[in-house]
């Protein structure tokens, strides 16, 4: 590959205590925790609205659980306020239904109320460093490139973009380099609630109404017959906050390289094309869906897996499988299945999602090995491929975000780095806020 050397003098427009890059579930919680901790906080988002996968990714329901008292409880209250809560209990645990459009306004107000400065339509481009310490970020907006100084930067990009740009080590996918497929979720309305089923996954034994046929078997048959897109062996149907609506988690593109924009572009074209086929399937064959309408779709292909930044500690398979406790836990009783969508075909990589036991996430998983002044949160924290397949769900991402934001504010106040701060101070602050860590 040819290379060019590019350099430019750009304005340093402002200095913040904490800069959070990425406004998904992790970034929202990180920014609010930081601002509530007294730090001047900037939340930067490349897209035009807050929320990441929760809003523009159109991912519903919120899955996973953590101990009581975290900001995840508060965010769910914000999202459900004024509605009858939808909390179906399935093999996935609690499936918390949301309204992705309404969530944009509510979450924007939530961060603004905490005193966070929110900067949408602004992309992180590079990290500024002094030695091994991250001291700011280079951002891009319509005005061009500009720099912002920061005492602590939190990487909540899902993709570990900030830590990687600063020189952190990382893993992508499993040992053979393959990652989970990406999917583009969409929402349908006009569903006849008196008869329409939900389907949580490829092991759900739900039957097609009025028949003895298992829906999952029918989906597999229709995939083999070419009436569903390649590798789409299950069309998952989840409730939102509203009767008569379902989010559809079905489209699937295998072989993506989430860090190659051309690969993501090809996935976008393929996945948009798949929506029509999935709609035809629902309308033609599934009672209650005959008159459903495509209400909306995600703004981008949903990437399940990309960089996992190497931290001071790594959350391992055994931690998640056996529910191991950690002395320096900043998230307690995190739980979701080990849910690995097959990187090489349809269904699950391990036959079916594997059980996990409620586990701890230690502070060291948020500290980036070899770098100061930076924390990770959400999908890109330090863990193995199989552990990531559990902690990547949104409730757990909110909890790691809250821990990172709390740590950032404490470090800023003390005039030290998050690593110098140590886990004890973070744990004590979280417990004081009412987070149950034992
Ligand atoms: C298809 C699919 C289905 C899923 N289903 C579920 C489900 O049902 N329930 C569940 O709980 N979880 C589900 N997940 C997992 C979950 O949605 C994600 O793992 C979770 O949202 C990660 O949260 P996050 O805050 O770390 O990252 P994201 O939600 O990905 O947010 C990251 C944010 O950072 C921004 N960003 C990235 N790079 C930059 C940059 N350079 N500059 C500025 N901003 C940037 C992005 O635009 C985005 O807004 C699913 C994921 C996928 C892909």
Q: How far is the CA of 158 from the centre of ligand 1 (A)?
A: 6
Are 358 and 286 in a shared domain?
no
Are 54 and 160 in a shared domain?
yes
Q: Report the nearest-CA residue for atom 15 of ligand 1.
A: 393
Q: How far is the CA of 288 from the centre of ligand 1 (A)?
A: 30
Q: Would you state the pLDDT for residue 300?
A: 98
Q: CB within 8 A of 225, min separation 6: which ones?
A: none
Are 166 and 23 in a shared domain?
yes
Are 168 and 224 in a shared domain?
no
CA distance 164 to 252: 27
Are 163 and 54 in a shared domain?
yes
Ligand 1 contact, 27 CB (< 6 A): yes
Task: Identify the residue whose tokens are 């572009």.
Answer: 265
Examine residue 59 and state whether it is found in any structural domain, yes or no: yes
Ligand 1 contact, 249 CB (< 6 A): yes
Q: Which atom of ligand 1 is nearest to the CA of 336?
A: 11
Q: Report the nearest-CA residue for atom 38 of ligand 1.
A: 157
Query: At residue 69, does pLDDT exceed 90?
Result: yes
Q: Would you state the pLDDT for residue 77?
A: 98
Q: Would you state the pLDDT for residue 150?
A: 98
Q: What torsion do the CA atoms of 321, 322, 325, 331 make, to the nearest 10 degrees?
A: 30
Ligand 1 contact, 347 CB (< 6 A): no
Beta strand 117-119 with 374-376 is unpaired
Q: Are 28 and 50 in contact (CB under 8 A)?
A: yes
Q: What is the pLDDT of residues 75-97, one digit of tens each?
A: 999 999 999 999 999 999 999 99
Q: Are 237 and 88 in contact (CB under 8 A)?
A: no
Where does a domain end: 239, 265, 297?
297
Examine residue 254 and state whether it is found in any structural domain, yes or no: yes
Q: Which atom of ligand 1 is nearest to the CA of 47?
A: 47
In which band, very low, low, confident or very high, does the pLDDT at 1 lie, cut at 50, 70 and 90? Answer: confident
Q: What is the pLDDT of residues 346-401, one digit of tens each?
A: 999 998 999 999 999 999 999 999 999 999 999 999 999 999 999 999 999 999 99
User: How large is the average pLDDT for residues 397-410?
Assistant: 98
Q: Which atom of ligand 1 is nearest to the CA of 25?
A: 25
Ligand 1 contact, 379 CB (< 6 A): yes
Q: Is 420 exposed, middle or buried (0-12, 13-18, 19+ CB in 10 A)?
A: exposed
Ligand 1 contact, 24 CB (< 6 A): yes
Where does a domain end: 275, 297, 319?
297
Are 384 and 311 in a shared domain?
yes
Ligand 1 contact, 160 CB (< 6 A): no
Query: At residue 276, does pLDDT exceed 90?
Result: yes
Query: At residue 100, does pLDDT exceed 90?
Result: yes
Q: Report the nearest-CA residue for atom 45 of ligand 1.
A: 22
Q: How far is the CA of 56 from the centre of ligand 1 (A)?
A: 9
In which band, very low, low, confident or very high, does the pLDDT at 162 lie, cut at 50, 70 and 90? Answer: very high
CA distance 362 to 24: 21
| Closest among 43, 19, 23, 40 to 150, alpha carbons compared | 19
Examine residue 1 and state whether it is found in any structural domain, yes or no: no
| Closest among 183, 208, 195 to 244, alpha carbons compared | 195
Examine residue 7 and state whether it is found in any structural domain, yes or no: no
- Please state, rounded to an integer, the average pLDDT across all residues of the chain: 97
CA distance 267 to 252: 9
Are 352 and 207 in a shared domain?
no
Examine residue 388 and state whether it is found in any structural domain, yes or no: yes
Beta strand 329-334 with 359-362 is antiparallel
Ligand 1 contact, 157 CB (< 6 A): yes
Q: Which atom of ligand 1 is nearest to the CA of 123?
A: 42
Q: Would you state the pLDDT for residue 303?
A: 97
Q: What is the pLDDT of residues 228-241, one digit of tens each?
A: 999 999 999 999 99
In which band, very low, low, confident or very high, does the pLDDT at 195 lie, cut at 50, 70 and 90? Answer: very high
Q: Would you state the pLDDT for residue 336?
A: 98
Examine residue 62 and state whether it is found in any structural domain, yes or no: yes
Ligand 1 contact, 63 CB (< 6 A): yes
Q: Which of 334, 394, 400, 403 is the pocket-test mutation for ligand 1 (most atoms within 8 Å of CB)?
A: 394
State which residues form the domain around 426.
12-176+305-432
Q: How far is the CA of 249 from the centre of ligand 1 (A)?
A: 15
Q: What is the pLDDT of residues 7-66, one digit of tens each?
A: 999 999 999 999 999 999 999 999 999 999 999 999 999 999 999 999 999 999 999 999
Q: How many domains does the chain have?
A: 2
3-class DSSP state of 44: strand
3-class DSSP state of 251: coil
Query: At residue 337, does pLDDT exceed 90?
Result: yes
Are 21 and 151 in a shared domain?
yes
CA distance 375 to 381: 9
Q: How far is the CA of 52 from the centre of ligand 1 (A)?
A: 5
Q: Would you state the pLDDT for residue 106?
A: 98
In 181-225, DSSP assigns E strands to 186-189
Element (H, E) at 285: helix 261-285
Are 71 and 131 in a shared domain?
yes
CA distance 257 to 418: 32
Where does a domain end: 233, 266, 297?
297
Are 380 and 318 in a shared domain?
yes
CATH (domain of 338)? 3.50.50.60
Are 171 and 221 in a shared domain?
no
Q: Which of 20, 22, 27, 375 is the pocket-test mutation for ligand 1 (most atoms within 8 Å of CB)?
A: 22
Ligand 1 contact, 405 CB (< 6 A): no
Examine residue 192 and state whether it is found in any structural domain, yes or no: yes
Ligand 1 contact, 404 CB (< 6 A): no
């Amino acid at each position: 590959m040819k290379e060019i050397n590019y350099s430019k003098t750009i304005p340093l427009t402002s200095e913040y205590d904490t800069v959070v890059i990425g406004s998904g579930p992790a970034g929202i919680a990180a920014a609010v925790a930081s601002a509530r901790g007294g730090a001047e906080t900037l939340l930067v988002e490349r897209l035009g609205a807050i929320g990441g996968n929760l809003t523009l990714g159109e991912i519903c329901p919120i899955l996973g659980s953590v101990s009581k008292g975290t900001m995840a409880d508060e965010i769910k209250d914000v999202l459900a306020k004024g509605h009858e809560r939808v909390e179906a209990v399935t093999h996935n645990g609690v499936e918390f239904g949301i309204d992705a459009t309404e969530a944009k306004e509510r979450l924007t107000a939530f961060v603004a109320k905490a005193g966070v400065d929110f900067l949408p339509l602004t992309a992180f481009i590079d990290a500024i460093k002094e030695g091994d310490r991250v001291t700011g970020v280079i951002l891009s907006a319509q005005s061009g490139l500009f720099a912002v100084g920061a005492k602590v930067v939190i990487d909540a990009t899902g993709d570990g973009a900030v830590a990687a740009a600063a020189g952190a080590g990382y893993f992508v996918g499993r040992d053979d380099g393959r990652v989970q497929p990406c999917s583009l979720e969409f929402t349908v309305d006009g569903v006849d609630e008196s008869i329409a089923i939900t389907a949580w996954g490829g092991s759900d034994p739900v039957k097609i109404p009025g028949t003895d046929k298992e829906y999952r078997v029918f989906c597999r048959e229709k995939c083999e017959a070419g009436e569903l897109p390649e590798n789409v062996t299950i069309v998952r149907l989840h409730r939102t906050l509203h009767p008569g609506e379902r989010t559809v988690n079905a489209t699937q593109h295998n072989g993506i390289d989430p860090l190659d924009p051309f690969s993501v572009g090809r996935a976008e074209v393929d996945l948009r094309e798949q929506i029509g086929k999935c709609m035809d399937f629902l309308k033609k064959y599934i009672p209650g869906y005959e008159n459903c309408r495509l209400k909306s779709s995600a703004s981008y292909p949903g990437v399940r897996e990309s960089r996992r930044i190497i931290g001071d500690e790594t959350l391992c398979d055994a931690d998640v499988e056996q529910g191991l406790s950690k002395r320096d836990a900043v998230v307690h009783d995190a739980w979701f299945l080990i849910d690995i969508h097959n990187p090489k075909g349809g269904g699950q990589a391990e036959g079916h999602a594997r059980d996990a036991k409620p586990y701890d996430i230690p502070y060291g998983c948020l500290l980036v090995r070899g770098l100061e002044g930076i924390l990770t949160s959400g999908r890109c924290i330090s863990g193995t491929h199989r552990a990531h397949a559990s902690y990547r769900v949104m409730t757990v991402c909110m909890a790691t975000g809250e821990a990172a934001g709390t740590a950032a504010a404490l470090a800023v106040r003390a005039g030290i780095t998050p690593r110098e701060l140590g886990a004890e101070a973070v744990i004590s602050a979280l417990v004081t806020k009412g987070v149950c860590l034992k």
